[in-house]
Amino acid sequence: YLILQDEETRKDYDYMLDHPEEYYRHYYHYYSRRLAPKVDVRLVILVTVCAISVFQFFSWWNSYNEAINYLATVPKYRIQATEIARQQGLLNKTKEKGKNRRSKEEIREEEEEIIKDIIKNKIDIKGGYQKPKIYDILLFQILLAPFYLCKYIGWYCWWIYCFTIKGQEYGVEEKLYIIRRFMKMSKSQFDSLEEHQKETFLERQLWIRENYEVYKREQEEELKKKMAMDPRWKRYRRWMKNEGPGRLTFMDD
């Protein structure tokens, strides 16, 4: 009865009656259905996506805190943050006397936290170490995928209408977008570049394909020169020439 009440197992049973010689096949279908997990696949996918999203968020927070800790050790940013803290009177509060007097270690830790907070508020970190946003994790990216798709289609139609049909001139954002596409960089990678680099791109009109190809060849030649002058690269080439990464030889006994 347990076999015949289910449509799938009933089909297997009918097939067994028609093909009794396929002994091992019947065993395989029987145990594969009996031992198959009963958990809904959609629930498994949802839990997996949520787990990945949580890991993403905390991993990005860790990278962001590492970037803040590093900037707090850079003299340029540390001096500026310390000056702002003095102007706001935050450092004076850490050196209270009397009953509220604390040890030098506690004062140093509190001053360090004040400097880090100022760096967080004053410096806009871009790229892979920027402050994490809840909408960037995988779960929200999947939920917002239809919105992003519609937004991209609308933007693409606007681009075709303005610059292909009407022949308008590119603005600064459009020029930087074309340059980024030529360089095959993601938005976060391109945003992490210094402003003077972007200004150089615009001055050299790299949104024009011919100008970008010239710039690309120049960068390749410059890289070759640097590698040729680098003593480590010279040692590597000498090693590759004389010994190599390892050779497979066949020697007679």
pLDDT tens-place string over residues 55-69: 988 888 888 888 888
* Structural domain contains residue 112: yes
Per-residue pLDDT tens digits for 126-162: 655 677 788 888 888 899 999 999 999 999 999 999 9
**pTM metric for this prediction:** 0.57
Alpha helices, H only, 123-230 = 138-143, 145-159, 172-183, 187-191, 195-203, 209-229
* Structural domain contains residue 198: yes
Cα-to-chain-centroid distance, residue 165? 35
* Structural domain contains residue 18: yes
User: Does one domain contain both 239 and 185?
Assistant: yes
* Structural domain contains residue 186: yes
> 165, 182, 213: which is the final residue of a domain?
165
User: Does one domain contain both 54 and 71?
Assistant: yes
Residue 214, φ and ψ in degrees, nearest 5: -65, -45
**For the chain, first and last CA: distance in Å?**
71
User: Does one domain contain both 123 and 76?
Assistant: yes
Q: Name the amino acid, one letter, at 98.
A: G
User: Does one domain contain both 124 and 51?
Assistant: yes
User: Does one domain contain both 58 and 125?
Assistant: yes
Higher pLDDT among residues 33 and 70, named by residue = 70
- Average pLDDT on 77-96 reads 72
* Structural domain contains residue 97: no
* Structural domain contains residue 159: yes
For residue 70, give the nearest of 135, 14, 123, 133 by alpha carbon. 123
Q: Which domain holds residue 62?
A: 43-92+104-132
User: Does one domain contain both 189 and 205?
Assistant: yes
pLDDT-derived band at 247, boundaries 50, 70, 90: very low
For residue 130, give the nearest of 188, 190, 81, 184 by alpha carbon. 188
* Structural domain contains residue 206: yes
On the question of pLDDT at 231 being above 60, the answer is yes
pLDDT of residue 250: 43
User: Does one domain contain both 181 and 142?
Assistant: no
- Average pLDDT on 120-130 reads 67
Mean pLDDT of all residues belonging to the chain:
79
On the question of pLDDT at 15 being above 60, the answer is yes
Structural domains of the chain, count: 4
pLDDT of residue 152: 92
* Structural domain contains residue 248: no
pLDDT of residue 248: 42
User: Does one domain contain both 201 and 227?
Assistant: yes
pLDDT of residue 19: 82
User: Does one domain contain both 19 and 66?
Assistant: no
Per-residue pLDDT tens digits for 101-113: 667 777 778 888 8
User: Does one domain contain both 126 and 176?
Assistant: no
pLDDT of residue 52: 92
What 3-state DSSP class applies to 175? helix
User: Does one domain contain both 50 and 62?
Assistant: yes
User: Does one domain contain both 54 and 110?
Assistant: yes
**Cα separation, 241 vs 228, whole angstroms:** 15
pLDDT-derived band at 36, boundaries 50, 70, 90: low
On the question of pLDDT at 117 being above 90, the answer is no
pLDDT-derived band at 253, boundaries 50, 70, 90: very low
